[in-house]
Each structure stands twice: as C-alpha cells, then as structure tokens.
Structure 1
Amino acid sequence: MKLCRAEYKTIVKFTEQLRPTRQCMKMLKDKFPNHSQSTLLSIFSLEYQKRMKRSLVKHHTPDVIEDYYQRYRGEAAKRPADPVMLELANEVDLSPSLLARLLLERFLEEQEGAVSSKQVLNSMLREPSLIPDLQLARHVDQCTINDCCYGPLVDCIKHAIGQEHEELLRERLRERRLSFLDENQLRAKGYDKTPDIILEVPIAVEGHIVHWIESKASFGDEHSHRTYLNEQFWSYWNRFGPGMVIYWYGFLAELDCQRDRGILLKDCFPSDIVTLCYSMGSC
C-alpha cells in the first residue's frame, strides 16, 4: 500500500499518544480500519523507535537509572503481584524492554559488584528464568511480552517475518520460472554485501530493467528508506545495475522517485513482468 504524505502524517500524529503495548494495535486498527494491521504496526514501530532514540540519553544517566531502580524496588516490595516495572515504563515513557534491560543490569551490578557482560545480560533477557531473583524475572518477562517494538521476542518475530517474506519472494520467482540466485548462494560465491535476489536473466517491470530484488518486511518511511539507499541500495546499483525494492507493508508514495536512476519501489510482487524470452518472441 502506497501512502501519500498527508495520510502518513495523520497516522504518525496519532501514534504519538501510544505506548508499545498490545492494546495500542487495537487502537490503531480502530482508528484506521482501511489499513492492514501489519502496515500500522510497522509505522508505529518505526516512529516509536525514533522517539526512543531522541529521549534515550536522559534515561541512561547514573542518577536516573538509580532513581528508576529504587522506585521499582520500593513498588515491587509494596505490591509484589502487580506489574510494577511495566507501569514504571509507561510512567517515564520508556520502552518496557529497554527499562527491563536497565534495571536488570543495575541488579546484576549490585549482586556481583561489577558490570555484567553483554552476553550474560542478553541471555537473561532472552530467558528470564536465568535471573536469580524470581520477582525480578517475572517483571522482566512481563515487559518483554508486552513490548511490541523492542526486546528479544520482537527481534525473533521480526527475523521470522523477514525470512517468511524472502521465501514468499522466492516462491513468486519460481512460479514465473525466473532463474535467480538468493543471498545464501551469492555469499557462497564470495559476495559479501548482496541484495536478497540476483536475477540471472534481467526482467522489465513497468518499463524499467530489474537485475536484483530486495525484500523489506516493513513500511518504507523517509528515514529508513534514506538509510537503506545510502547503506544498501546504491551499492547494489553500483555492483549489479538497476533493481527493485519490495516494501511488503507499503511505503511513502513520494519516495518512489529514483526509477530513472535505477531503483524501483513496489509494495507487492509485480504482476506485469516482461521477461527477455517474452520480449524476443521465443516464449
């Protein structure tokens, strides 16, 4: 789905009042029933991550972390059955998973007298049962489960969705009997930085030649697309020629402005493909 800038800004404006909880998705879907839940979640996630990046510094000072930790400990002692860490995250406007990480790191420092390694910290966040304090473990788990933008659970879901859409792309190419090499095959040949698909015989889509295809299981907003252009797409263009990017959850329509320079944007696998054999009259 392509969104015009005005429509996109309306959605973004509404997301400013939301927190990364499961309830926020129902609110988004009720407000914008004509958009898919996947598109709305992707837009919200991108906007929320921008919000967190702007405010993260103020949450990471030693004094602030100590204040959060003591407040959490005090509330957990008074109300042991309540989701006090999740409530604190909402109160201070910080991602529940990010707050859980800060408080767990502070707890481990208190227990061990030193800063724990990232490996230990990450393993406990992925598997809270490893945390020696059962109450803290339960609260960390609550934050992880209820955060739809950050945390190990979200990372796993995003990875799985990305893999699913890459396989969907391969299926569409096989259905059209198009010969291609995927990312794993390209790496086996020694390529270090590659798109998801290289077509062994180029195709034409809407009058534009396509040598490669990149799959993005997300919404293409201005910030992420600009980052992808600088870090991925232009390097693919330099190495392999013109290509196509599929933003499966839609994109800002105004971003599809590089077609003449060799980068085409789509929100689904195109149906109007012209193959070399077709154009030569041999198929």
Structure 2
Amino acid sequence: MDSPLPEHRHYGTVEKLLRNSVSEGQDFLFDSVKFHEELLNLETKYGFPYDSLVSFLRNLHLHHVKKAAPRVKSTLKGILQRYCEGQSIVDLAWQVNYPPYLLSRFLVEEISRHGGNKKSLTATMKHPASFLKTKEDLKQQYEFSEEVGSNMEDCTRLAAEVLRAIDCDPMYGPSHDRQRHLIGVEYEVLLEYQLKELNIPFETEKELRHRGTSRTPDILLSYPLSVEVFTKHGTEWKVVYWIDSKALFGDVDTHRVSVLAQAESYIHRFGPGLVLYWFGHAPLDALDDAQGDISIIGWELPTRFMLPTGEILTRGKTND
C-alpha cells in the first residue's frame, strides 16, 4: 500500500501553538492579512499544509466561540457603550477575544431596526451598506453613536464598522460560509468521481434522501467492500459499507464532538464505514474508531479496494 501523507510529527507542537493563539486572542485572529502570513510561517516552519492549518485552527476556534458566546452576550451592554463612545468593532472584538464579524452581528441586532428577526438580520449582515444607509435605519436611542468614529459618505458609521469587521475577520462571515460550503461540495463531487473511476457502484446522500432514507452518509456502497487502510495496529483490510466525506482537518475534539456520533448512527443503520478527512487528521491512536467499526483516512481516497469475490480493484482494474 502506498503511504499517504504521514501523521505529522509536529502535530502536538502545532496543536499547542494554535490552542494558545486562540485562548490568548492573538492579533492575527483579527486581521486577515496577518492571519495569512502567520499560517504561511507555520507551514514553512513545521511543514503542515496551509489548508490543513486553516481548518485545524477554525475547528479549535469554533469551540472557543461556543464557550465565549454567553460571556460576550452577558457583557454586551458595556460593549455597546464603548462602541457608542467611538471604539471600533474590530478593537472591541480584540478586547473580548471574539470574532469581529460575530460581534458585529450582535451589535447590529441591538442597534439596527433590521435586527428584529433572523432573516432581516442575515440580509443586513450580507449587505450592510444597503440596509444601514442612514440614521433612520438605527433605533432612535443609538442614533447618537453616528456622531463619533469612522463614517462613509453613502452609509452609516455602523455600516462602515460592519464592513471593516467582515474584511478583518479571517474565519467568519458570509464569504467564508460560502467558501466552506463550496469546498464541501467540491470534495463530495471528487469522491463520487473517484469511485466511478474505480467502477464502484454506490448511492449518494441525495439519492438516499430522495427515496426517504434519513441519517445518510455521503456515499452508501451498493455492496460491502474491503479497503486497505492504516489503523492503530498497522495496515489492515477493513470492511466498509459507506463513506463520509469531511472537507476539514480531523482534530481530536471535532472528531469526538461532531463526527463520531454521526458516524455511529450510520454504523447502527448500515454497518461499518469509512470517514475521509481530506485535510488530514490527528494521530489515529488519539481518535475514537467506535471499536474498529470506523476506518479513518486522510488526504485522499485509497486506490485499492477488495471486492466480495476477493479480487483487488485498483483504478478500475481487477487483479487476483
């Protein structure tokens, strides 16, 4: 079996660096340019792929955001006061160690007349210059906040602040959401293409849901196959009934909290399966494999599958 990119020897070091960056709220988390430069430096120093670093960092940061949200909401009155006194949203985000875009959403929800329901709030955050053009778009008690801080000629200070927050935030915001969605779709399509190239029959998640199947993996194989994978015990052939595509880095927390329960529901319904982390994963001995029922691989789909007949399928050809 050809060896994929190895479990990185600097994984522990990189994880510690990223965790410290998140907990300390380092400057590059509030500046898109510095963010890019910092991760390029880490890639150069440790040989950790840039896209994997981005995914790994966002996974860790998302856990931080979920824990920090109640604290930020409980102090929102004070944050609002500082904003009304002229402090920028980006500076306030740095002070409370919370993403600029997400903090700006909290403030727009409170200050704007368009923050009353989720639909109008989402539209405002996507097009702040259009929805926050004049003081009339703000609640009356906050109109005075337009007299301080930065302004743009054709929209309010609040709109200008939101636009800057969106521009500075390296991980959250409408463009990042779209990008992650497109990347997820791209890798699902790639998985389907590679399986077809290997002449492996399957049903997609969309096809399964169309016929009323709930809790579906991305790929349900038409019959079980054995796949040659690296495990905690070395290289093994493992029987799989399904494959789930994850366009992210499989760190320990994300695997345990977000992926494992989902995969176990597939096991109960369909049998053992394969989780493919396209951007790599933590060392296998740190990842729960549901007592061997989940095969975990990274970076790419294996090219060798064993058919039920015992024949080995390699890139569309069968070999005894």
TM-score by length of structure 1 reads 0.86
Q: Deviations over 1:150-194 (max 9, x none)?
A: 222222111111001100101111111111110100001111110
Distance 1:168 1:255, change over 3 A: farther
Distance 1:98 1:229, change over 3 A: closer
Partner of 1:103: 107
Q: Distance in 2 between matches of 1:193 and 1:20?
A: 37
1:106 maps to a residue whose letter is: E
The equivalent position to 1:177 in structure 2, one of 193, 199, 205, is 199
Contact 2:58 2:171 survives alignment (8 Å):
yes
Gaps of at least 5 residues in structure 2 are 135-154, 229-236
**Is 1:240 aligned to residue 270 of structure 2?**
yes
Contact 1:194 1:236 survives alignment (8 Å):
yes
* Cα deviation, residue 229, structure 1: 4.6
**Is 1:75 aligned to residue 105 of structure 2?**
no
Distance 1:103 1:2, change over 3 A: farther
**Is 1:117 aligned to residue 149 of structure 2?**
no
Partner of 2:308: 276
**Is 1:85 aligned to residue 89 of structure 2?**
yes
Contact 2:251 2:282 survives alignment (8 Å):
yes
* Cα deviation, residue 103, structure 1: 1.0
Partner of 2:254: 224
Distance 1:119 1:2, change over 3 A: farther
Partner of 1:13: 16
Question: Would you tell me which structure has more helix in proportion to its own residues?
Answer: 1
Contact 1:29 1:35 survives alignment (8 Å):
no
Q: Deviations over 1:31-69 (max 9, x none)?
A: 2321111100011111112222222222102xx222222
Q: Distance in 2 between matches of 1:49 and 1:256?
A: 19
The equivalent position to 2:64 in structure 1, one of 51, 54, 58, is 51
Matched residue SS, 2:214: coil
Matched residue SS, 1:32: helix
Q: Distance in 1 between matches of 2:14 and 2:31?
A: 17
1:7 maps to a residue whose letter is: H
The residue correspondences of 1:184-199 to structure 2 (distance < 5 A) are 184-199=206-221
Q: Deviations over 1:86-141 (max 9, x none)?
A: 22212321110111011101212xx58xx611111111112222224422112212
Matched residue SS, 1:264: strand
* Cα deviation, residue 276, structure 1: 3.3
Contact 2:241 2:271 survives alignment (8 Å):
yes
Distance 1:169 1:236, change over 3 A: same
Gaps of at least 5 residues in structure 1 are 77-83
Q: Deviations over 1:227-263 (max 9, x none)?
A: 2455310110111111100001111112455286321
Matched residue SS, 1:149: coil
Cα RMSD (Å) = 2.4
Matched residue SS, 1:148: coil
Partner of 1:81: none
Moved more, 48-57 or 179-188: 48-57
Q: Distance in 2 between matches of 1:260 and 1:252?
A: 17
Q: Distance in 1 between matches of 2:261 and 2:43?
A: 32
Partner of 1:159: 181
